[in-house]
Structure 1
Amino acid sequence: MPGPRAARIVVGLVMASFAGVYVLAAPSRTEGAARIAAAVALAAAVLAAQLVWVVPRLERWRGYRIVLAQGAAAYAAVLAFGTSVGILGFVAGSLLLAGAWPVAAGVVGSAALIDALRDGTSADVTITCLLIGLVVYGLVRLADRVEDAAAARLPLTLAAAGRERLRIAAELNRGLGDGLAAISAGSRRAVGRPAEIGDVLAVARRSLNDARAAAADFRSMSLAPEVTAARALLGAAGVESAVLGGHREPLGPAGALLATVLREAVTDVVRAGTARVCVIETSESDGLVRLRVVNDGVRTAERGADGLAEAAERVRAAGGAFATGLGDDGRFVVEACVAAGDRAVSLPDRTAYRLSLALLAAVLAGFSVKGLLPVPWGPRWAAAAAVLLLVSVVQLIWARGGRPRWWPPVLAVLSFAPVPVFGTAWLGLAGFLAGTFLVGLPVRAAVPLVAASMAGVGGGAVLLGLGPAAVVNYVVSTLVTGLVVYGLVRLARLVRDLQAAGEELARAATVQERLRAARDLHDLLGHSLAAILLKCELARRLADVDAGRAGKELAEVVEMADQARADLRTATGGDAELSLDGEVASARSVLTAAGVDVETELGHPALEGPVSAVLGTVLREAVTNVLRHSTATRCRIVTGLDGAAVHLIVENDGLDPDASRTAPGAGIGNLTTRLAASSGTLSARPDGAGRFRLEARIG
């Protein structure tokens, strides 16, 4: 899972840079090789204890014991070897992560007291300690949020598909379900009295119309099928087509209106036969969805509008806007705009992203206050505060995804030009500049610019007459501050992007579920109801001339109606009992919505209820594991018969070769038990080529 892995790498990088500051500072704060080595070892121990909160595999070590050990190492380094009291910020961060907020405040207070007794100052060190604690806490919690957001994508997708399946079932069962029940009951009554088939005929016609209307309605939720049909129609007519999609699915009622406009506009283009190029463009903003169809085959606006009157009337009747005309380039434009309406998928919780921005703002404020402490009160202080506020706003803009073009030269000037005026207090601002480079530029451009910023800070420190140790400290601090800013902004973006990805997956799953239902209605129920209607018409004609044969036809209608009711259950996702066939369809829908290519090779025979249910359960768990625990791009589902045994194979290419091998989880254990109860077996293992294979057998 690239998001969580990237998040942990970012956190580890920032933690290591922090520790590097204290390791590099050790020689300047104590004397003697042994004492320096001890100070370095204690700093390394503090960082090692911090990694317990960063690395998921070390989760079992988290708790107060590790915090006590870390605290002992930190206080020993400060009291016995003169290490900066800022290292106690790591302890404060661990306590915050452990939920001991009052104790964390006490650690920060002790840092201020130690520094006051040592050097007579405490404000700067107190802020440093507090900032380190907040950064440690914030980075780890944001990394956790990234994992939560990544893990939530699958449940959100499955929940959206499940809600849509229930909605489809409710819609279809109220109409088609009642109609099929009436057909079945009426046909049974009419078997002995074929002349009474008239009522069944009326219900069959209505049910067939309902099935066709429902399939069209489900398809209309998405413009994708209509766009595909339009491209095929244009291609067959020798017209080059281009599609520029900018709307979000599902569209709901808006999709039906725009599909009508697209269908009629493209039909007119093909009918005219003079166009060479046709562009289909969609966009969405301010709650409105727009469709533009542009072609180069119409010479007058009046001629181009022919045949679009019905579509225009429907769009305007729904409160939308419809316009046609020649553009400045002489091409004919059809444009429709309708309200997007309520979405079937709700937006994910944005609290985590807002919290990440608040944390970033708090850290930026802390760095700014620390930089302002040495500046005398007055106009210079106000000017410095204004510049720091501007720089902080730029960081927040970057966190939200904005890209102001003016920032590189402006921030560079603001970071270095005031150094002669504000002195050493301003040398820390270059860390913000370095962070902005890391966030906003590719690595190949950011690294040289960060190095240049560090060199600039070093040169400024030398010109201000600082000693070698202070110069090194300022240079390294520039990199550390840049990494902190990068870490907070990067993690905030990861949270936002993963939440957005989860939302899009849920939307895609909803559309896929509707399109699956539309296909099933068309392919299964449409065929069944058309056949029922034909049989009923035949029985009515035979009623007066061959009552026996008419009765046989009606008996077949009863069987066909019962099968149609089973088809309806398939179209609505199945009842409470799982089936292998239903789960294959659902697996294809959900995996496709998640961007996984699905290949199916189905060779299993007709299965009885319990066997089908168990294999359906196996397939559902296998698909869940594919999406939850892997980075698969392809998945292969195979069924077949080996002698008397039915087998199901699910294979995917998402196995992480570097991941540690863990014991099977509860899901695999439950499946093994289920299969054993049905005289079946289960194996789940990697195949040595980056693929994972699950195989179940019953029989």
Structure 2
Amino acid sequence: MGTTWIALGSAGERWLPRSPVAITLAVVAGFALDMLINVVWSPTRDGLAGFAACFAVVVALQVAHSTREPRTWSWWARLLTLGAQAVATYLPLLWMGPWGGMAGFLAGSVLLTVPGPWRWALYLAVGASIPPLALAHGVPAVTAFWLAESTLLSGLIVYGVSSLAAMVTEAHAARGELARMAVVREQLRVAGNLRGLLDANLSAIARTIGRVSRLLPGHPDRAREEVGEALQTARQALADVRAAAWGYRRMSLSAEAETALSTLVSAGIDTRAVLPDGPLPGEADTVLAIVLREAVTNVLRHSDARSCRIEARAAAGAVLLSVVNDGVRGAAPGSGTALESLRLRVEAVDGTLSAVHEAGGRFLLTARVPLAVADDAPPSGQTSVQIAGTAPPRRPAAPPKPWAPRTAVVMTVVVLTAYAGVTMLFSVSEGLGGAGLAGAAVCFAVISALQLAHSSDLARRWPARTRALTLSVQAAATYLPLLWAGQRWGAMAGFLAGSILLWVPGPLRWALYAAVAASIAAATAAAGLAPISIVYAAVFTLLTGLVVYGITSLQALVFEIHAARGSLARMAVVRERLRVARDLHDLLGYNLSAITLKTELTYRLLPGSPERARAEAEESLDIARQALVDVGGAASGAHAMSLAAEGESSMSTLTSADIEATLDLACGPLPPYVETVLGIVLREATTNVLRHSKATRCVIEARADGGTVRLRVANDGVEPDTLPRPGGTGLPNLRTRVESLGGSLSAGPGEEGWFVVVVEVPGAA
């Protein structure tokens, strides 16, 4: 299971434990300690060695069943471990009688390991087996009843805590799966866009250059006409790639809609988007993109939506964006701080925003933003961007489960209600009636209501003053009945201890938690009970508080992870778009620049040097074919490059530009990803030589020394007006790639008008 810190509520106000496993182990350990005290309390002292062995087996198997997802085991492994736990549970009954309620662990393991409705029948059977065994050992009927109740309640708590911990782990894994699916959908979408953008141009270039090769050397004049056509197409393709790379970087309504599609469809929500035809003014585009992003977050966080429709249309000098989804849970999420901040952002550009919870569980978010320049407004009612996605089946291989928060709430309510009810029965089981019983019932109702409120997501939105008030009321309802109900009522104090752990900030909560247990121990001592009873009262209070805290914290973890899944998927898609932008610039930009350069050279060589022109045309054809392959690689990230091949390509390109080039690659074999990154660096460096210098010489060399690979590209002909612009994206993109390998990149002017790019990366990165 994962290990992470998650902050809830106000900053620094409440920290959940480091791992769901920690909560589970703490609860199991607490119950084990409680059971040990019961055994020590028992007058039976025979066979303690056998008891210790059985106790160790039961606890070890319970830890395994509670932390290792036993339903994923083979049937024989579950049968073996559950059988061993049953033997270790019932065997000591032969000489000790019903010992310490240890059968509660067995009841919990049955629920955790046995599939289907049979588990509940076996769970009840474990509880029903205790009274006959207790009666056979001379235990009073009332005590036998309480042993059965304790067995069933302990089993339910162990099952609840263990299941919620497993749900946290599953939800955490599911959000990673959601992000992966969103990235895959984004890759497919980008691949389609790139192929639509570049395939036709690159194929046309390849066909035209192929005709040029066939026309030479016999028909140089006709070949020159064909080269001119290819040159025009190459220039247009290069401009398209640069525009596309910029488009993948910037934030816009259309880009955000595409991201929303990937995120929502991957979450199992059927989605359709209809957007205006044509670009929006910058400010309106940005604000509407922000509105859409928050709307998608609300769809994922506050609903169990199965469908979502996104629509933007231009009318009367403004753009109206609406996002509607079904499956809203509870109250409309229109009054939260996020939507209020969004409303202020929209109103800052003289727009309006409304959020409406409609009948049938539909939620409608509408934003109206004026267009800054009327002429920039897209034609009213015209739509060219229509994005639709069909959600995968509701049961994919590893799906995010939208019902996880509901299940967590139901499990929390059931466990806490059962725990409180049984504790109440124990507290008033002897010598209480009339007005005393009525008063205890009122206090029980107050404690139960406040505990459910403290354990709900609602309490996270309360101000500190409200929580202080509710904790004070719960404390009064906890301690007041001690005046007439006696020390047995002290069992209810564990719920107060749990609420304190949940909502008192800082280390003070642990001091108050211990103080509650100490106060109950003092009340038990004042009643004149034995020391073992005093210890048991304190331990039971601490255990109950731990159970309340643990199960509520696990429920909160489920909510937090479920709510974060949309943000994670969106960030994954945004990272994917930035990667595509880098690859468009670094890979396809280089290829198209090389094609353009060589095509220009071919054009200049004709009709005078047909043989040399043919050689250049054939090299252009090879690059065009490689560019067609790189289109798919840019979308999927699956491209691989050879440093040696890139070196030869750079030499050919530089030589074609009449630059004297020297190549010396003496770095030996490298891991594929290291070689790919160095190849990309070499491509970009070569492009910079051609684009930003008046070079006559270029030196490319690579060396491996002491586990580090060093690539150096240096060229002359650098003047202040030809240096790469600081705002460019080429070198920052390369630095990002190199640093991902734990390496470094430096680039800048050298001596006597030279420009030097140096990359150092670990050879085994």
TM over 0.5: yes
Alignment partner of 1:80 is 2:95: yes
Letter aligned with residue 360 of structure 1: T
Letter aligned with residue 455 of structure 2: L
Letter aligned with residue 23 of structure 1: L
Which position in structure 2 is the counterpart of 1:351? Answer: 403
Displacement after TM superposition at 1:559 (Å): 3.9
Evaluate the alpha carbon distance shift between residue 221 and residue 394 of structure 1 in structure 2; reply closer, same or farther with a 3 A threshold: same
SS in 2 for 1:317: strand
Letter aligned with residue 8 of structure 1: V
Q: Deviations over 1:281-333 (max 9, x none)?
A: 999645599xxxxxxxxxxxxxxxxxxxxxx9999335489xxxxxxxxxx96
Q: Deviations over 1:487-520 (max 9, x none)?
A: 2223333344445556544332221111111122
Which position in structure 1 is the counterpart of 2:109? Answer: 94
- The unaligned stretches of length 5 or more in structure 1 are 227-246, 266-280, 290-311, 322-331, 582-602, 617-639, 649-693
Alignment partner of 1:219 is 2:288: no
Alignment partner of 1:564 is 2:627: yes
Evaluate the alpha carbon distance shift between residue 570 and residue 2 of structure 1 in structure 2; reply closer, same or farther with a 3 A threshold: same
Letter aligned with residue 361 of structure 1: V
Alignment partner of 1:10 is 2:23: yes
Displacement after TM superposition at 1:158 (Å): 4.0
Displacement after TM superposition at 1:451 (Å): 1.1
Which position in structure 2 is the counterpart of 1:29? Answer: 42
Q: What TM-score does the superposition give when structure 2 sets the normalisation length? A: 0.58
Q: Deviations over 1:139-196 (max 9, x none)?
A: 3333333444444565544443333222211211122122211111122224532224
Alignment partner of 1:432 is 2:454: no
Evaluate the alpha carbon distance shift between residue 65 and residue 541 of structure 1 in structure 2; reply closer, same or farther with a 3 A threshold: closer
User: Of the candidates 544, 549, 555, which is equivalent to residue 481 of structure 1?
Assistant: 544
Contact 1:90 1:132 in 2 (8 A): yes
Letter aligned with residue 413 of structure 1: A
Contact 1:353 1:495 in 2 (8 A): yes
- CA-atom RMSD, angstroms? 5.2
Evaluate the alpha carbon distance shift between residue 37 and residue 55 of structure 1 in structure 2; reply closer, same or farther with a 3 A threshold: same
Contact 1:434 1:449 in 2 (8 A): yes
Letter aligned with residue 95 of structure 1: V
Quick check: 39-48 or 334-343, which moved more?
334-343
Displacement after TM superposition at 1:133 (Å): 0.8
Q: 2:404, 2:297 → 1: CA distance?
A: 28
Alignment partner of 1:111 is 2:152: no
Which position in structure 2 is the counterpart of 1:369? Answer: 421
Paired residues for 1:483-522 under 5 Å? 483-499=546-562, 503-522=566-585
Displacement after TM superposition at 1:7 (Å): 2.3
Contact 1:94 1:137 in 2 (8 A): yes
Letter aligned with residue 128 of structure 2: G
Displacement after TM superposition at 1:44 (Å): 4.5
Which position in structure 2 is the counterpart of 1:180? Answer: 202
Contact 1:165 1:573 in 2 (8 A): yes
Evaluate the alpha carbon distance shift between residue 562 and residue 513 of structure 1 in structure 2; reply closer, same or farther with a 3 A threshold: same
Which position in structure 2 is the counterpart of 1:396? Answer: 455
Q: 1:604, 1:429 → 2: CA distance?
A: 77
Which position in structure 2 is the counterpart of 1:63? Answer: 78
Q: Deviations over 1:72-95 (max 9, x none)?
A: 343344563345563211111122
Displacement after TM superposition at 1:363 (Å): 0.9
- The unaligned stretches of length 5 or more in structure 2 are 5-16, 216-221, 265-272, 299-313, 324-346, 354-365, 368-385, 393-398, 644-664, 677-701, 710-761
Q: 1:432, 1:92 → 2: CA distance?
A: 23
SS in 2 for 1:572: helix
Q: 1:50, 1:336 → 2: CA distance?
A: 59
Displacement after TM superposition at 1:249 (Å): 11
Q: 2:100, 2:39 → 1: CA distance?
A: 12
Which position in structure 2 is the counterpart of 1:299? Answer: none
Alignment partner of 1:134 is 2:156: yes
SS in 1 for 2:318: helix
Which position in structure 2 is the counterpart of 1:164? Answer: 186
User: Of the candidates 457, 461, 468, which is equivalent to residue 524 of structure 2?
Assistant: 461
Evaluate the alpha carbon distance shift between residue 10 and residue 399 of structure 1 in structure 2; reply closer, same or farther with a 3 A threshold: farther
SS in 2 for 1:523: helix
Which position in structure 2 is the counterpart of 1:120? Answer: 141
Letter aligned with residue 93 of structure 1: G
Which position in structure 1 is the counterpart of 2:234? Answer: 204
Displacement after TM superposition at 1:135 (Å): 1.9
Contact 1:431 1:479 in 2 (8 A): yes
Contact 1:86 1:125 in 2 (8 A): yes
Q: Deviations over 1:452-499 (max 9, x none)?
A: 111222233345565544333222110111111222223333344445
Aligned length: 541
Evaluate the alpha carbon distance shift between residue 529 and residue 579 of structure 1 in structure 2; reply closer, same or farther with a 3 A threshold: closer
Paired residues for 1:580-595 under 5 Å? none
Evaluate the alpha carbon distance shift between residue 397 and residue 403 of structure 1 in structure 2; reply closer, same or farther with a 3 A threshold: farther
Q: Deviations over 1:8-51 (max 9, x none)?
A: 2222221111111122222332155x566765665454323323
Letter aligned with residue 319 of structure 2: A
Q: What TM-score does the superposition give when structure 1 sets the normalisation length? A: 0.63
Aligned-pair identity in percent equals 31
Displacement after TM superposition at 1:356 (Å): 2.8
Letter aligned with residue 108 of structure 2: G
